Amino acid sequence: MLEIRNLTKRFGDFEAVRDVSISVPDGAFLVLLGPSGCGKTTLLRMLAGLELPSAGQIVFDGKPVSDGDRNWTVDPARRNSGLVFQSYALWPHMSVRGNVDWPLKVMKMPKADRTRRVAEVLKLLDISQLADRYPNEISGGQQQRVAIARTIAPKPSVLLFDEPLSNLDAKLRVEMRTELMRLHRATGATTVYVTHDQIEAMTMATHVAVMNHGRVQQFGTPADLVDHPETAFVATFIGTPPNNMVPIVRNGTGYKVGGRYMPVTPPADDCLAMYRAEAMTLSDSEGETTLPMELVETSAIAGRMMVTGLRDGLRLTAIVERAPEARIGDTVQFCLPQRPDSWFGPDGERIG
């Protein structure tokens, strides 16, 4: 349904998006995930037709809609796509019904059909009772539902969301995630959703593109990203808590692991060893595979304890059955498993 080919966007000498290529099947829920400034919103704006690519192509359902190499693009209104803005962008002088009706009126849909369609989407979003109210008379969560209703009313084949839940409180965000997934199933539209919240990404997406510095670090299903991270960035960005990344450096005839000599055989002289938090343990005494760390945090997570230590910039987290009998600031021995879960080279790429 959606194909992105070698897409690049430059602002002067700065490349906001760099040579991105993604192919998304019909009806998928794609999440563009990454930290602030990684290029995900710029990519979304190119999909919406609000930005012209500097290079590369965008194809919707087999039909090109943007070509940066030829400096050509299809007008946003002719792409059969809908965009939900982060700020909702409702017309304050129109009622809820008027906001949802307006794009249908622009399409020159007959009045009877418009009335029927507006009632249908208001019911789908459970806001029929708000039809005659104005945006300043409803809550933020209700405004978000109106913005979504307005977007899906024309039945677009591609739905675009720019961090739509970022202005909501934590409880409402969870509720709206459920509503958006239900909406996706009901409409069947191919969806592209921008967020920096990995929990949103991992709970909602069928496909995730993890971005950093304008590039897609990895594209795949949520399970692929968790089980087989392809770069050190993905390994430390995905997961709650994130995976531990420990530097291993050749020093003389041996190797230093996190600053201590340990009996290891890495695949390269200088690399990174990834240890999942649930594979880490704590030890009562120092050993040949332990790292003394300053205890900086303990918290409960899913019936177990998450323990975090810090030493010379290295941060390690372990998921254990019970917290150590130590206070914040005390030294705790983190025990590394015999073998890491994955190896990464000094460039951050996965080895093997």
Over the stretch 186-205, which tens digit does the pLDDT of each residue have?
888 899 999 999 989 999 99
* In contact, 165 and 87? CB cutoff 8 Å: no
Which segment of 108-112, 139-143, 223-227 scores lowest on mean pLDDT? 139-143
* In contact, 282 and 335? CB cutoff 8 Å: yes
Over the stretch 275-319, which tens digit does the pLDDT of each residue have?
999 999 999 888 888 999 999 999 998 889 999 999 988 999 999
Conformational region of residue 308, where left means phi above 0, alpha means psi within -120 to 50, and beta covers everything else: beta
Q: CA torsion angle for 117, 123, 128, 130 (degrees, to 10)? A: -100
Cα→Cα distances 176→50, 165, 301, 309, Å: 26, 7, 23, 35
Percent of the chain with pLDDT over 70: 100
- Could you give the domains of the chain? 2-236 (3.40.50.300), 241-351 (2.40.50.100)
pLDDT tier at 271, thresholds 50, 70, 90:
very high
CB atoms within 10 A of CB 279: 17
Rounded Cα distance, 19 and 4, in Å: 9
The number of CA neighbours under 13 Å toward the Cβ of 223 is 1
Over the stretch 55-90, which tens digit does the pLDDT of each residue have?
999 999 899 999 999 999 999 988 888 998 888 889
Over the stretch 260-270, which tens digit does the pLDDT of each residue have?
888 888 888 88
